[in-house]
Amino acid sequence: MCELNIWGGVGGAELRGKRSVSPPPAKYGGRHTVTLIPGDGIGPELLNHVRELFRFCCVPVDFEVVTVDSSVVSEDEINNAVTAIRRNGVALKGNIETNHNLPPSHKSRNNLLRTSLDLYANVMHCQTLPGVQTRHKDIDIIIIRENTEGEYSSLEHENVPGVVESLKIITRVNSLRIAEYAFKLAREKGRRRVTAVHKANIMKLGDGLFLQCCKEVAAGYPDIAFDNMIVDNTTMQLVSKPQQFDVMVMPNLYGNVVSNVCAGLVGGPGLVPGANYGKNYAVFETATRNTGKSIANKNVANPTATLLASCLMLDHLGLVDYASMIRKAIFKTLSETRLHTADIGGLATTSEVVQSIMREVQKTGPLTSEYI
Amino acid sequence: MAGNAWRSTILKLLERYGAWITGQRKPEEVSRVMGAVKSQTQPRTFSRGMQTVTIIPGDGIGPEISSAVIKIFEAAKVPIQWEERNVTAIKGPGGKWMIPPEAKESMDKSKIGLKGPLKTPIAAGHPSMNLLLRKTFDLYANVRPCVSIEGYKTPYTDVDLVTIRENTEGEYSGIEHVIVDGVVQSIKLITEDASRRIAEYAFEYARNNQRASVTAVHKANIMRMSDGLFLRKCREVAENFKDVKFTEMYLDTVCLNMVQDPTKFDVLVMPNLYGDILSDLCAGLIGGLGVTPSGNIGANGVAIFESVHGTAPDIAGKDMANPTALLLSAVMMLRHMGLHGHAKKIETACFDTIRDKKVWSRAVQYTALKKNPVSESVTLILLFIGICLSKFNVV
């Protein structure tokens, strides 16, 4: 099967002077093809809303749906998904549930996807959204989390019965890579400071190496201030004074904790989109990666995070106008119309919110496919 | 007579600063906040009614806050005699790092300790002092009750939870290797025995302190074998404690829900690293490490209560430090020893001091913003003692 690469071969990315991610090759007749992995829980219904919205706004994106059944033991389905993403270059996904009562040979499907595609940077932009009531105001933090190694290496063994060892791997190459990514992103977005989060006072070699790599990279960016903070102090500062943070970079597990804390601070898991970037591929999903089993198919889930993730995807594809149009409509619904779902204190259903967003788009945007 | 003269001087001083309101003030019923670590207290050997407690002042602001606590205990006439010891890492026979033998002896004899903050060097030399202490006395459980303090406003109100953290293994086993140049491996150790022990402790604590539920915090979706083992042990122990509700939750879900609605949580039990992060997160919810007490329970009846904040070397010796954390930990210690009356008196006095905005605002100002108007700061400890004194003499 031959891939039609419109951007002129492997050197496409370098020619266009882009950062680390090359534009996706799957573009036929002006329409992009994106892999869609519905996942479990609220994933399928929210991603259906995304498709509905895209159809309504006439966004030139086609979805190739690949289902991954979390209960199946074989890894064929996730491998198919990986192949599809390699083909299309970009994916939008819901979270795939991991049953942690199954034996260790059954690995987390989400983790497999990330490591197979080498999506080394997980980027999450937490900002206080207009119209959402929170305890803290004026939060604007970008969290960059190493996505492939650290505590998520899934290397465990039981040498002596009753004693389990789990390995946390930190490598110089990956630490340099993520630090480089963080500083480049900070410079691009005009950010002033990067904070490395670690626990090097206890894990002297592992986190010590990570911190060392961050310091080395920081030396090459004199215009950006660099400091570091221990992870427990970080969480404490986040709940008392989150406004002090700008850009944060950290290994995998601390990234998990810090990103969930920040998501909670700005209003919850239903509001924040996340992106996973690799050298050649990009996968977009909600930042906190929840399946939301308890609210699945009840029409109460908050579609904001998934819709904003799809906007990030449109930005990545270069369809910036569509992205800003949809984003503006979402923010208007949140702040002016104040149509909120239950998780942020309102009474609206998911479909009501999506309808409202479509109405906003119709009011301000180009001709749409139907009239609401 | 001299005592009365001293008392009236202090009261006059307090009146001048507006911290003391003449007239009867009924000490409010304080909830069993710093709950007894154990409900049954073993009869301890008393010599002339005095119980010995080893006190480790620590570094930085440690010595000053320790002396503040000692003074307050003297004022409250608590039957404790203090044995002061210092801990510095020394290399024992065989090249292993250990704490000085006098400190170990004193602790083994008294079984109860109160510790100030100890310095931890980053990425160098000997292991952390706190880690050494834990290893020496097998302090397997770290208990941190986090309750919102009335009068100290934070964005979170009505926090009332306890974090119980496995203190000896997990990610802090200290086992790291450089596999090849540029690749480092840290080993996280989870054992059946330690997991069972901490789970049993957590359920016993919940039962003894009338807590409704215990939640195990884990990441078994990723670390299937290690956190899976921890979870299995928790489930097994839960079978023997049917009166306490048991739930399991992922670490990220706990963090997410904790910053949105901390009232959902009761007792949390977890391995070392998650415990470290979560207990500090909860401390941040109620106002920081400066007001959070902490207790470490060991295998042989040893218990060390400590203040968990840093050594704050920049304000050391300037008489600006806030002794609340160490004081509340000392109150926790009194409850553990069965001296509930004294514990209640001191705790009430402490909360009253905090509730009194004038004193407290200056204390918080000093510790939080690190201002240094020397003339006013001198009264801080005196005020604490004064208010305690006045409380103890009021019927």
For A12-53, the DSSP string reads HHHHTT--SPPPPS-EETTEEEEEEE--STTHHHHHHHHHHH
Give tens-digit pLDDT for B59-80. Answer: 889 999 999 999 999 999 999 9
Query: What predicted TM-score, i.e. pTM, was given to this entire model?
Result: 0.84
The predicted structure's pLDDT at residue B321 = 82
Q: Where are the alpha helices (DSSP H) in A154-290?
A: 172-188, 206-219, 231-240, 252-266
Whether the per-residue pLDDT at B196 is higher than 90: the answer is: yes
* Residue B93: per-residue pLDDT: 80
How far, in Å, CA of B145 to CA of A280, rounded? 48
Burial of A329 (0-12, 13-18, 19+ CB in 10 A): buried
- pLDDT band per the 50, 70, 90 thresholds, residue B390: low
The answer to whether A239 contacts B285, with C-beta atoms less than 8 Å apart, is yes
How many angstroms separate the CA of residue A225 from the nearest CA in chain B?
A: 21
Nearest Cβ partner for A257 among B189, B252, B289: B252
Residue B190 CA to residue A162 CA, distance in Å, equals 8
What is the token pair recorded at A216? 């080395």
SS (H, E, C) B53-116: EEEECCCCCHHHHHHHHHHHHHHCCCCEEEEECCCCCEECCCCCEECCHHHHHHHHHHCEEEEC
Instruction: Calculate what percentage of chain B has a pLDDT beyond 70.
Output: 76
| Alpha carbon of residue A151 to chain centroid | 19
Q: How far, in whole angstroms, is CA A18 from its chain's centroid?
A: 20
Residue A143: which H helix or E strand, with range?
A: strand A140-146
Q: pLDDT category, B38, cuts 50, 70, 90? A: very low
Top-confidence range, A254-258, B4-8, B34-38: A254-258
**Partner-chain residue, chosen from A162, A204, A238, that has the shortest CB–CB distance to B176:** A204
* Mutate: best of A168, A202, A243, partner B, most B CBs <10 A: A202
Assigned token pair, B164? 């119980």
Distance CA B55, CA B306 (A): 10
| Dist CA A195 CA A209 (whole Å) | 16
For β-strands A90-93 and A61-65, DSSP reports them as unpaired
Place of tokens 């904040």: B309
End-to-end CA separation in angstroms for chain A: 42
Query: Does ipTM surpass 0.90 in this model?
Result: no
Task: Specify the pLDDT at position A92.
Answer: 97
Q: For A217-254, b where at least 16 C-beta lie within 10 A, e where not — what string?
A: bbeebeebebebbbbbebbbbbbbebeebbbbbbbbbb
DSSP A85-132: HHHHSEEEEPPPP--TTS-TTS--HHHHHHHHTT--EEEEEEEPPTT-
Tens of pLDDT, residues B205-215: 999 888 999 99
On whether the CB atoms of residues B255 and B281 are closer than 8 A, the answer is yes
Main-chain dihedrals φ then ψ at residue A26, nearest 5 degrees: -85, 85
Q: Is the pLDDT of residue B376 over 50?
A: no
Which three-class secondary structure state does DSSP give residue B296? strand
Is the CB of residue A176 less than 8 Å away from at least one CB of chain B? Answer: no
Angle between helix axes B62-75 and B340-355 (nearest 10 degrees) is: 120
Q: What is the pLDDT along chain A (372 residues), one digit of tens a residue?
A: 333 334 333 443 343 434 445 555 678 888 999 999 999 999 999 999 999 999 999 999 999 999 998 888 889 999 999 999 999 999 999 999 999 899 888 889 999 999 999 999 999 999 999 899 999 999 999 999 999 998 888 899 998 999 999 999 999 999 999 999 999 999 999 999 999 999 998 898 999 999 999 999 999 999 999 999 999 999 999 999 999 999 999 999 999 999 999 999 999 999 999 999 999 999 999 999 999 999 999 999 999 999 999 999 999 999 999 999 999 999 999 998 888 999 999 999 999 999 999 999 999 867 677 665
Across the interface, whether the CB atoms of A264 and B280 are under 8 A apart is answered: no
Helix (H) or strand (E) holding A83: helix A76-88
Radius of gyration (C-alpha) of chain A in whole angstroms: 21
> Domains, chain B, ranges and CATH?
51-120+128-139+298-359+372-394 (3.40.718.10), 144-288 (3.40.718.10)
Residues whose CB is less than 8 angstroms from the CB of residue B135 and which lie 6 or more positions away in sequence, other chains included: B168
Q: From the CA of A241, how many Å to the nearest CA of chain B?
A: 10
* Distances in whole angstroms, Cα of residue A7 to Cα of each of A26, A27, A31, B257: 10, 10, 14, 45
Contact B325, B73 (CB under 8 A): no
Structure tokens at B77: 């006439």
Dihedral sign from CA coordinates of B269, B270, B272, B278: negative
Q: Per-residue pLDDT for B379 more than 60?
A: no
Beta strands in A185-337 (DSSP E): 193-198, 225-230, 247-250, 273-277, 282-286
pLDDT one-digit tens code per residue, A5-59: 343 334 433 434 344 455 556 788 889 999 999 999 999 999 999 999 999 999 9
- Residue to mutate among B168, B171, B184, with most A CBs inside 10 A, is B184
**Closest Cβ opposite residue B284 in set A108, A173, A236:** A236
Determine contact: A342 vs chain B, CB below 8 A: no
Best of B175, B226, B282 to mutate (most A CBs within 10 Å, chain A): B226
The pair phi, psi for residue A127, each rounded to 5°, is -135, 150
Residues 6+ apart with CB under 8 A from A136: A128, A242, A243, A265, B155
Distance CA B148, CA A332 (A): 37
In the Cβ-directed half-sphere of A94, how many Cα atoms lie within 13 Å?
A: 29
Q: How far is A362 from chain B (nearest CA, A)?
A: 34
Amino acid at residue number B141: A
**Helices B379-393 & B357-364 angle (0-180, nearest 10):** 150
Contacts of B294 (CB under 8 A, 6+ apart): B142, B143, B144, B279, B305, B306, B307, B308, B325, B329, B332
Transcribe B242-257 into DSSP letters.
Answer: TTSEEEEEEHHHHHHH
Whole-angstrom CA distances from A333 to A266, A304, B300 are 17, 10, 61
Question: For B174-198, what is the mean pLDDT?
Answer: 94
CB A350 within 8 A of CB A341: yes
Whether residues A239 and B177 touch (CB distance < 8 A) is answered with no
Q: How confident is the model at residue B14 (pLDDT cuts 50, 70, 90)?
A: low
Angle at A79 between CA A75 and CA A82, to 5 degrees: 145
Structure letter (DSSP) for residue B379: H
Place of tokens 């789970």: B199
Partners of residue A160 on adjacent β-strands: A163
Bridge-partner residues for B82, per DSSP? Answer: B53
Which residues, 6+ apart, have CB-to-CB distance to B303 below 8 Å?
Answer: B37, B111, B112, B113, B295, B296, B297, B333, B336
pLDDT at B385 over 80: no
Alpha carbon distances (Å) from A228 to A69, A317, B3? 41, 34, 51
How many contacts, defined by CB atoms under 8 Å, are there between A and B? 184
